[in-house]
Amino acid sequence: MPTPIKNVIGEDPKADSLIRGEWRDFSKTLAYKEMMNFMEVNGERLIADATEGTITINGEKHPITGEYMNFLLQRRAGIDIIKTYIRLFSE
């Protein structure tokens, strides 16, 4: 059975401060900018694929089901959650 998380964000100001400092330092790097751009581009692609009802594989468009459209939109939502977390801690 997994160990319960003891330090939830906001419960330990010292830990929060450390995490924020690490994210602020990382946010100044090229790796951070590339990571954020990667998430943005992929998020836009997921929305476009779900909206069009097709997915492009090796340059060819293939129709997708409603279930797969939902999957793409859920992935986009996950990307947005991660980006929000990162931005909150890196500002």
Query: What does the pLDDT look like over 76-88, one tens digit per residue?
Result: 999 999 999 898 8
pLDDT tens, residue by residue, 20-53: 899 999 999 999 999 999 999 999 999 999 999 9
Residues 6+ apart with CB under 8 A from 76: 43, 46, 47, 50
SS3 state at 80: helix
Judged against a pLDDT cut of 80, whether residue 2 lies above it is answered with no
| Residue ranges covered by each domain of the chain | 29-90
Distance of CA 7 to the CA centre of its chain: 22
The sign of the CA dihedral 32, 34, 37, 39 is negative
pLDDT band for position 7 (cuts 50, 70, 90): low
Q: How far is CA 54 from the centre of its chain?
A: 22
Nearest-angstrom CA–CA distance, 69 and 49 = 8
